[in-house]
Each structure stands twice: as structure tokens, then as C-alpha cells.
């Protein structure tokens, strides 16, 4: 006991010491030096000098990093380096001072795919690998994880984000953050909040109810802040209910700090917001990346009384408290040589766990490796497989394994004839396309090669099975389009259906692989495929991971972290995505944003919350994903105590023939009281270990009242309303193994909050009542 007390005293004393020394340091700083702390280094480097990334090489040794702090030689404060991003450490692989060495970082699967693993332990391991690479390459703060909600399937950055569900987003972000920060490198959880579209992203005003904010758009951030204590938070570009996120004291002070207990610092997204003194006053501590126009602005604002010295000091203190912990401040010498072989294995493991089997007729998959005939690989994506998306979610990777390379590397015979045709086609098409001057902006996917039916018939005779890869890419600055991105192109549709007919007429199987970063339409064509494997954008090891699954070395265990709707317009949010421009704008994109607004009329009914509650049929439901084996989930006991704490104990057993993992998901239907509730909400999940046939595992969940309460706008509080709660446990939202009810006799006020981010006008909200749903 004494020993623990001593340790605690020691930690407290250590913190006090750090705080005291920060305060002492602030005393020594001149006003000009304080300004240099709250503004990023590009204040002194013209944007154009930085080239593609916009970051010059002055004041730091990590070219290609997204931003840096300014050096203070007088007080010996080193430069702190910030680098993206959600799929890997985004830095330049080549440095001028050492052209013979490379600094490639590992491209992990995109965040959506990581979330599809539903495996928080794996996420922590992935986070550690990110943290290790960041640290050894000289990065102090990683600009990830990104955890905005997939409000609409066309969101251009959905691939960088986890899910349409805040619990999945929050849990994944926490595990990842814990992993990164265990290495002594910070994260920046981003983009707080409601950054759900790219169109006009820096001027859009998102009008959202307090309840939808709390239950959906802020919830993931709340979980991540409380469970993993991120060193930094990045505020979003957009406005929320009329105020820029980076200028909102409601968001950055009341909610983030006072309510959630955040004690790191907040940085802007790059060039975000308008009113610099207001940003500082509102608790947005650091302006990134800094621009020459910022120079002198803070000094002037303090001098003319627009900004209080104490407000500035608070920001400087928050920043320095974190900087003190960074590798750069601790004089860590990065080796420039992280263990990339280890990262590669983790990237592959993550891709294997995030791949989702959507359909598997009979014994289509796994493929038989002993089959003497060749596998026919169709689709440019089979040869030029997309590893990650574009923009700041991109990674400069050393290599990327295509599906072709993955299959060949796993001893599968692939049709060489087809391979040659495709490789020539791709080379020719690439040559004829204009080169992109900038790595940002959406890469055009190559148009599909067209085949005549006679050609397809001839190839299907010579090969054992047909595989078609459909691919998509997207990235920062642009939202996806319904035509081309969400729906298949006419060429893709024709190729898919003709291939199915050609192979089926030979009594052979036809498989579709989806190499995509966001949801696409599947309803109109899924009956043509015998199997559909959603490989997402699997990072540099994607091709190897998918090959492992196709040949059955690994049984798929990923689950959908979002719904695949039948049609785009089935999402209620499609009615008002991406909002309305308030002035004429000939260039609708994030780059030249104009004043615009988007009203979140769907309110809390995002994703499955909408489809389930309003009985709208979908193509593939939330939480869905098949396996090569079968599992049985059985109920052991469900109890609730007088304080509303729920305990669920169940078991998951592999009753099939091969090894596999299963995700046990707990949904709750809460009773309608003063507040109406979605008909199911995910309240807990857990992934099993690898279970051999006949093996089982006991799974235990404890769910606190705050984790299944709803937000009452009237009371500004989380409440657990009295009534009957239906607890449903299963392996997807639409496959529930058992249901049990519990009673909450009296309404409990679980957590009081402050009235914040109030919309300044009526929102015509979707409700069950308005749609006559009981
Ligand atoms: C993105 C951020 C990113 C930053 C630095 C911005 O355009 O929105 O997510 O971290 O650039 O690259």
C-alpha cells in the first residue's frame, strides 16, 4: 500500500514539477515569442516554398511532414514535428541531405478497414507500429486518428474515418491512440467535429441538433478523450450551428475541457477559421500550419486589447505542457530506421482481419490451390490494386502488393495471357493520361478494359474461375459522386454481368473483389456473383492479405462498420448532402469553398439507426460479415443492478470445420419515453480469439448507464429513461442470437452537461412520429 502511495506521490510531484516549469518558462517568454508558440512554422516560410506538401525544410529534419513548430534558440526550445495520417506516417521518403537513404513509411489499411476488424487489441498493436515509425523518423505528433462519422456514403474522406457508429469510432480511436502514445509520440484526434463532407468544407455551416451532436457526432470523440487521453485534438474546418469549430468556446472549452477533462492542446486544421484572436480566446491553442499573414497578428491583438494576455498564456501553457513530453523536447535521437519488417506483418494482419466476406455461395471460396487450371483475373484493380486513398490520408510507401502479386506469391496459377493483356492495357492507358502536378485531389481510376462476349467465353473455357476487381479511390477536397463512385459505371456493369454469364455457362464460379474506400451500390449486381469479398483499400500488404483469404489460409472475420444501402437515396441524409450554397459558386469543391449550409434533418437517424427504425431494406446490414466457419452465440446471463449497470455474459463457439474469429455485438432497444429512440443501437462489441472447431470462449460485457443513456436537450443531460430495455446479442444487427429484456424502474439522470452548441434556428427533424412509426 505504502509503495503505491509513494508511486502516486511521485507521479503527482512529477506533474507539478512539469507544470511549474512550464509556468516558469512562460514568465521568460516575450510576447513575440509567445506568438511564435501558438502559430506553426509556416508563418515564416512562404507556402509556395514547401512544394507539394507546403512545408519547407527550414527548422526541422522531416521533409514532407505536414507541419512544425517554430524554434526558439534563446530558450532552447526545439522544433516539434507533426505528420499525417490515418493510414501511415506521411513524410517524404527522400531527404536532400542524405539521398542514399530512404524514409519510406508503412501503408496500413485505411481506417475504415481497420474498423472493420472490430478488434481493439489489433488496433492498439497497429497504433504501436505507427508510433514506432513516427518516433524513429523524427515525428512528435501524428495527425491521426480521424474519427468523423460516415454521415453519407459520398463523404470524400470516409475511408479515413471509421464508421457510421460512434461507439465503433470511439473505441477504435481510443485503442489506436493508446498504442501510438505508449511509444511517447502524441496523436491528434481529428476533426472535432461534424467534418462530414468535403464540398465547401472550410465554409460550410452544419446545422445539427444538440441531441444528434451529443449522441452521434461528439460521442466518438468523448469516448476517445476519456479512454485514451490524446495529447492533441485537431478542430474541424466547418462551422457548427453558426460558429467555426476552431472559434467555438462551447466546443473547445465547455465540452472538450470542462466536461470531458481534456488536458492536451487543440490545433486548427490547416488554414482553418477566420478570426485568429477568437480562436485563441476560445481555446484553440495552435494555428496550423501558420501563414505569413499571421505574423504579428497575435502581438497586435494583445496590444490593442482584442486578446487578453491570460488567454494567450493559457494556450502557450497547454502547448508547452505537451511539448515537454515529445521526443524532440526529450532530445530523442531518431534512428531513421524503424523496424519496417515488423510493421509489414502488422499491416498484413490488419488487412486480413478487416476484409469482409459479403457473399459466398456453396464452396466458391476458399479457392482450391490444387486446381490445375489458371485463375482469370479481370479488372484493372486486380493488377493496380489501390492501397490507400489520396490527400493527407495518403502514405509514401516503398511498395504495394497487387492482388495479382498476392495470388502469385501464394502459389496460385494466374492466367498469364490475361495478365499480359491487362499489363499492356494499363501501361498504355497511363501513358495517355495527363500527369498530375499535385499528389492531392482524386486520382482517376483507370477506365475498365472492354471485352467482347466471344473473348470472355474463350477465356472462361481456359480458366478455372473468374475474379473481377472493382476499384474506387477518393480523398481530401472532393466528395464522391453518385454516378461513377457510388454506382457502377456502365462498362463495369456490363463486364460484371457478361463475366458472370460466361463463367456460369461453363459451370464455373465467378467472384467479385471490391477494392474500394467507401460504400458502393451492390443490390443490382450481387446476384451475378457467387462470392463477394470486400477488401477495402488494404494498405501495402493488401494483395497478400486478400490472397490469404481467397485461398483459405485465413478465414475472413471483418464486419461492416456501416450499412450498404440498396440505393443512394435510401440514406435519409442524401436529401441534404452536401448542403446548399448561399452564393453563386462555379467551382463546388473544398478548395474554393463558399458560404453554404447543410441541415442535418435526419437528426440521430444516421446509418443503421435510420434503416432499422424506419424499416428500410438494405443490401448488407451493419455488423455483417461472413466466415468460412460457423459460430454459435449462447446466452449465459444478463443482469442489471439498481444503478443501471448491465452485465452480459455469453459464449461464442466455433461449430464449423475451420478456425476462425467472430465478433459478438450487443444492441439495445431503449424504450420511448420523453425521448424517442432508434430501434437498435450498438452498445458493446468484442472480437473472439482465433477459435478452432469446437472451441468456445466466454465473453463478458459490463455496460455502464452512461453508455446506453440518451441525451435530453431539455435537461442538457444524459438520461436513462424508465422502462423496458431489450438486449439483443448477435453477430450482426440483423442476426440476433438471443434477446432478453431488463427493467429500469425509475428514470436516472446519468450525467449533467452544459448547454452548448445550440442551433440558432429550427431544424425540421426526422422523427418516428413524423413518419407514423410506433
Ligand atoms: C487535413 C488534415 C491534415 C492536414 C495536414 C488538412 O488539409 O484536413 O486532416 O492533417 O491537412 O496535412
CB of 392 within 6 A of ligand 1: the answer is: yes
Ligand 1 in contact with 202 (CB < 6 A)?
A: no
> What pLDDT shows up at residue 44?
80
Which atom, in ligand 1's list, is nearest to the CA of 477? Answer: 7
Instruction: Spell out, as residue ranges, where the chain has pLDDT lower than 50.
Output: 1-3, 6-17, 47-59
C-beta 91 within 6 A of ligand 1? no
Q: Give distance in angstroms: CA of 644 to centre of ligand 1.
A: 41
Rounded-to-integer distance, Cα 253 and Cα 257, Å? 5
Cell of 350: 490488419
How many angstroms does the Cα of residue 583 sit away from the middle of ligand 1? Answer: 26
User: Hey, do 29-45+55-323 and 355-560 end up sharing a CATH topology, with the first three levels equal?
Assistant: no
Determine what percent of the chain falls in helix, strand and coil, rounding each to the nearest 5.
35, 20, 45
Active site residues: 269
Nearest CA to ligand 1 atom 2: 269
Tell me, what's the pLDDT at 52?
A: 41
pLDDT of residue 9: 46
Q: 84: Cβ below 6 Å to ligand 1?
A: yes
What is the distance between the alpha carbons of residues 116 and 478, in angstroms, rounded to a whole number? Answer: 24
Q: Whose CA is nearest to atom 8 of ligand 1?
A: 269
| CATH code of the domain occupying 629-771 | 2.60.40.10
Task: Confirm if 469 and 403 have CB atoms less than 8 A apart.
Answer: yes
pLDDT attached to residue 770: 87
Domain segments of the chain as ranges: 29-45+55-323, 355-560, 629-771
> Is the CB–ligand 1 distance for residue 521 below 6 Å?
no
Angstrom CA distances, 384 to 40, 445, 450, 473, 732, stand at 38, 10, 17, 12, 32
Ligand 1 centroid – CA 281 distance (Å)? 23
CA of 476 to the centre of ligand 1 (A): 8
CA distance 614 to 364: 35
The model's pLDDT over 176-197, given as tens digits with 9 standing for 90+, comes to 999 999 999 999 999 999 999 9
Cis peptide before 85 (omega within 30 of 0): yes
User: Is the minimum distance from the CB of 677 to ligand 1 under 6 angstroms?
Assistant: no
What is the per-residue pLDDT for 584? Answer: 78
Nine cell digits for residue 207: 446545422
Cell numbers standing for residue 385? 490494386
CA distance 332 to 441: 35
Name residue 77's beta-bridge partners: 72
CA atoms within 13 A on the CB side of 35: 22
The sheet with strand 646-654 has its strands ordered as: 631-640, 646-654, 696-703
Return the beta strands (E) in 554-670 as ranges.
564-565, 580-581, 596-599, 618-620, 631-640, 646-654, 663-669
The domain defined by 29-45+55-323 folds into TIM Barrel (3.20.20)
User: Which contacts of 328-336 are long-range, i.e. CB under 8 A and separated by 24 or more positions?
Assistant: 328/78, 328/79, 328/80, 328/81, 328/138, 328/140, 329/77, 329/78, 329/80, 330/184, 331/78, 332/135, 332/184, 334/135, 334/136, 334/137, 334/138, 335/136, 336/101, 336/103, 336/136, 336/137, 336/138
Query: Which triple of cell numbers denotes residue 585?
Result: 459558386
Yes or no: say if 385 and 543 are a contact pair by the CB < 8 Å rule.
yes
Give the 3-state secondary structure of 38-81. HECHHHHCCHHHHHHHCCCCCCCCCCCCCEECCCECCCCECCCE
Give me the pLDDT at residue 442, please. Answer: 56
d(CA 353, CA 345): 12
Q: How far apart are CA 495 and CA 525, in angstroms?
A: 11
Distance CA 706, CA 214 (A): 12
User: Given the CA of residue 53, which atom of ligand 1 is nearest to it?
Assistant: 12
Q: Ligand 1: which residue has its CA nearest to atom 4?
A: 270
Fold classification of 355-560 is Rossmann fold (3.40.50)
270 lines ligand 1 (CB under 6 A): yes
Question: Considering only CA atoms, which residue is closest to atom 11 of ligand 1?
Answer: 270
Amino acid at each position: 500500500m505504502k509503495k503505491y502511495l509513494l508511486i502516486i506521490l511521485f507521479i503527482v510531484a512529477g506533474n507539478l514539477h512539469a507544470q511549474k516549469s512550464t509556468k516558469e518558462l512562460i514568465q521568460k517568454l516575450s510576447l513575440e515569442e509567445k506568438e511564435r508558440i501558438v502559430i506553426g512554422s509556416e508563418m515564416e516560410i512562404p507556402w509556395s516554398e514547401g512544394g507539394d506538401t507546403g512545408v519547407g525544410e527550414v527548422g526541422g529534419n522531416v521533409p514532407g511532414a505536414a507541419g512544425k513548430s517554430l524554434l526558439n534558440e534563446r530558450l532552447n526550445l526545439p522544433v516539434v514535428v507533426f505528420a499525417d495520417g490515418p493510414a501511415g506516417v506521411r513524410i517524404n521518403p527522400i531527404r536532400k541531405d542524405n539521398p542514399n537513404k530512404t524514409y519510406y513509411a508503412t501503408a496500413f489499411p485505411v481506417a475504415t478497414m481497420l474498423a472493420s476488424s472490430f478488434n481493439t487489441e489489433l488496433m492498439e498493436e497497429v497504433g504501436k507500429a505507427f508510433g514506432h515509425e513516427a518516433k524513429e523518423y523524427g515525428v512528435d505528433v501524428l495527425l491521426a486518428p480521424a474519427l468523423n462519422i460516415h454521415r453519407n456514403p459520398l463523404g470524400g474522406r470516409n475511408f479515413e474515418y471509421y464508421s457510421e457508429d460512434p461507439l465503433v469510432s470511439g473505441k477504435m480511436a481510443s485503442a489506436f491512440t493508446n498504442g501510438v502514445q505508449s511509444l511517447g509520440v502524441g496523436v491528434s484526434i481529428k476533426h472535432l467535429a461534424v467534418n462530414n463532407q468535403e464540398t465547401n468544407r472550410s465554409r460550410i455551416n452544419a446545422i445539427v441538433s444538440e441531441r444528434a451532436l451529443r449522441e452521434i457526432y461528439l460521442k466518438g470523440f468523448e469516448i476517445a478523450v476519456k479512454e485514451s487521453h490524446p495529447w492533441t485534438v485537431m478542430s474541424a474546418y466547418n462551422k457548427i450551428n453558426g460558429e467555426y469549430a476552431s472559434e467555438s468556446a462551447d466546443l473547445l472549452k465547455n465540452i472538450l475541457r470542462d466536461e470531458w477533462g481534456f488536458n492536451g492542446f487543440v490545433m486548427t486544421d490547416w488554414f482553418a477559421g477566420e478570426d485568429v484572436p477568437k480562436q485563441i480566446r476560445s481555446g484553440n491553442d495552435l494555428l496550423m500550419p501558420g501563414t505569413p499573414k499571421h505574423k504579428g497578428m497575435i502581438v497586435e491583438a494583445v496590444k490593442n486589447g482584442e486578446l487578453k494576455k491570460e488567454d494567450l498564456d493559457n494556450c502557450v501553457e497547454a502547448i508547452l505542457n505537451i511539448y515537454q513530453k515529445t521526443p524532440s523536447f526529450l532530445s530523442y535521437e531518431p534512428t531513421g530506421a524503424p523496424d519496417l519488417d515488423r510493421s509489414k506483418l502488422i499491416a498484413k494482419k490488419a488487412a486480413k482481419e478487416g476484409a469482409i466476406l459479403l457473399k459466398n455461395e456453396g464452396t466458391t471460396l476458399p479457392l482450391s490451390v490444387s486446381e490445375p487450371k489458371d485463375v482469370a483475373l479481370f479488372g484493372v484493380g486486380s493488377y493496380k490494386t489501390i492501397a490507400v486513398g489520396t490527400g493527407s490520408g495518403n502514405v509514401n510507401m516503398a511498395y504495394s502488393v497487387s492482388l495479382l502479386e498476392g495470388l502469385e506469391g501464394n502459389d496460385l496459377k494466374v492466367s498469364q495471357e490475361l495478365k499480359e493483356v491487362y499489363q499492356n492495357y494499363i501501361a498504355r492507358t497511363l501513358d495517355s493520361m495527363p500527369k498530375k502536378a499535385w499528389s492531392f485531389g482524386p486520382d482517376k481510376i483507370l477506365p475498365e478494359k472492354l471485352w467482347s462476349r466471344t473473348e470472355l467465353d474463350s477465356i472462361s473455357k481456359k480458366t478455372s474461375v473468374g475474379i473481377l476487381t472493382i476499384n474506387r479511390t477518393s480523398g481530401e477536397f472532393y466528395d464522391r459522386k453518385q454516378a461513377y463512385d457510388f454506382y457502377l459505371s456502365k462498362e463495369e456493369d456490363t463486364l460484371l454481368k457478361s463475366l458472370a454469364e460466361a463463367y456460369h455457362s461453363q459451370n464455373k464460379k465467378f467472384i467479385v473483389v471490391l477494392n474500394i474506400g467507401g460504400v458502393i451500390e451492390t443490390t443490382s449486381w450481387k446476384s451475378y456473383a457467387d462470392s463477394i469479398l470486400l477488401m477495402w483499400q488494404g494498405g501495402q500488404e493488401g494483395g497478400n492479405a486478400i490472397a490469404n483469404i481467397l485461398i483459405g489460409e485465413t478465414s475472413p472475420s471483418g464486419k461492416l462498420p456501416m450499412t450498404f444501402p440498396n440505393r443512394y437515396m435510401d440514406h435519409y441524409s442524401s436529401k441534404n448532402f452536401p448542403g446548399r450554397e448561399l452564393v453563386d459558386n462555379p467551382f463546388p469543391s473544398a478548395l474554393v469553398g463558399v458560404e453554404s449550409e447543410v441541415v442535418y434533418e435526419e437528426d440521430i437517424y444516421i446509418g443503421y439507426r435510420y434503416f432499422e427504425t424506419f424499416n428500410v431494406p438494405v443490401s448488407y446490414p451493419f455488423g455483417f460479415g461472413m466466415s468460412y466457419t460457423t459460430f454459435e452465440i449462447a446466452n449465459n446471463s444478463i443482469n442489471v443492478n439498481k444503478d443501471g449497470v448491465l452485465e452480459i455474459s455469453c459464449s461464442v463457439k466455433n461449430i464449423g470445420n475451420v478456425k476462425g474469429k467472430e465478433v459478438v455485438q450487443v444492441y439495445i432497444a431503449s424504450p420511448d419515453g420523453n425521448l424517442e429512440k432508434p430501434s437498435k443501437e450498438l452498445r458493446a462489441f468484442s472480437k473472439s480469439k482465433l477459435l478452432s472447431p469446437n472451441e468456445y470462449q466466454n465473453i463478458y460485457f459490463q455496460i455502464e448507464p452512461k453508455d446506453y443513456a440518451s441525451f435530453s436537450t431539455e435537461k442538457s443531460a444524459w438520461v436513462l429513461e424508465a422502462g423496458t430495455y431489450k438486449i439483443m446479442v448477435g453477430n450482426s444487427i440483423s442476426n440476433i442470437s438471443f434477446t432478453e429484456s431488463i427493467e429500469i424502474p425509475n428514470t436516472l439522470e446519468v450525467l449533467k452537461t452544459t448547454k452548448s452548441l445550440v442551433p440558432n434556428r429550427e431544424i425540421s427533424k426526422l422523427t418516428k412520429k413524423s413518419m407514423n412509426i410506433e
